[in-house]
Chain A
Amino acid sequence: MTADASPPLRDAHDRAADAAPTPPATPLRWFLDPYVQIVIGALLVTASELLMKKGADAVEHAAGNVGIFGVAALASGWTWLGIISYVLSFVSWVHVLRFLPLGIAYALINVVHVLIPIGSWVFLGEQISARRWIGISIVVLGLYLVARPLARLEENL
């Protein structure tokens, strides 16, 4: 830990480190890294949202209006794949929260706001306007600002 790390962030990391020691040094240690898990969790959330949209669409096309509680969407296999993906992302998220403060972890998980529109475009064929691309770019810039001080801190550990 070096002096140029900002005090609030260092506090947060120290507290997290006190509360839960870093994962054991096994061959899988990189997999348990909270930042790796944030990326994996974000990909799982993206997959689950796309799958659930597919499921909701499939049911609506078959049976008309689905209603406010989307229970009818459970009739589609896509929805269940989405649920499995979501449960896995939840396990990943609980692991992340053991090591990172909620505010920082949630700031980073916002990468889903980039991944989901792009996923909707690539896999669901939804349109992305020029203005929407600009918004996505601003989100990416914001994520960069959030991640940069953290990355610098990690290098110094």
Chain B
Amino acid sequence: MKSKVLLITIAVICQALIVVGQLLLKKSIGAAQGGHSAADGSAAPVPWRNVVLKFLLAIACLAVWFFLWLGLMSQLDLSKLFPFEGLNPALLAIAAALVLKERMPLAVWIGMALVCVGIAVVAGS
């Protein structure tokens, strides 16, 4: 049986991998669409090298996450393990706001905070 500290460390690394992977994925898709921030309707050439690179990096992050997650699941009950992801929506929303400059209505932020609280309650049980 692995130590609890090691399991928690791996779970935290999993969180980071998901956030970075999702940001890269969204950036890759955004680049393939010619860039969301271009306000004028002019179609800039698609930077395919950039698109492919970010997409592959995203896949790499999510692939490493996948095998770490599989390893964690062999050690713990799924319904106990999954609530640990409670950090995830909050981290990702903050990252999307900071890195991608996405803006969301207040109600969505409040709803997301409730989701995290709910997950924390589940995780503490």
Contact = CB atoms under 8 A, between A and B. Distances in A.
Chain A: interface size category = 35 or more
Contacts of B73: 52-53, 56, 70
Contacts of A57: 74
B105 A8 contact: yes
B29 interface: yes
Contacts, number: 200
Interface string A101-125: 1111011001001001100110010
Contacts of A86: 66
Contacts of B79: 116-117, 120-121, 124, 126-128, 132
Interface residues of B, number: 61
A141 B29 contact: no
Contact of A113 (B2, B75, B119): B119
A68 interface: yes
Interface string B100-118: 1011110110111111111
A12 B108 contact: no
Interface of A: 6, 8-9, 11-12, 15-16, 18-20, 49-50, 52-53, 56-57, 59-60, 65-71, 73, 79, 86, 90, 93-94, 97-98, 101-104, 106-107, 110, 113, 116-117, 120-121, 124, 126-129, 131-132, 134-150
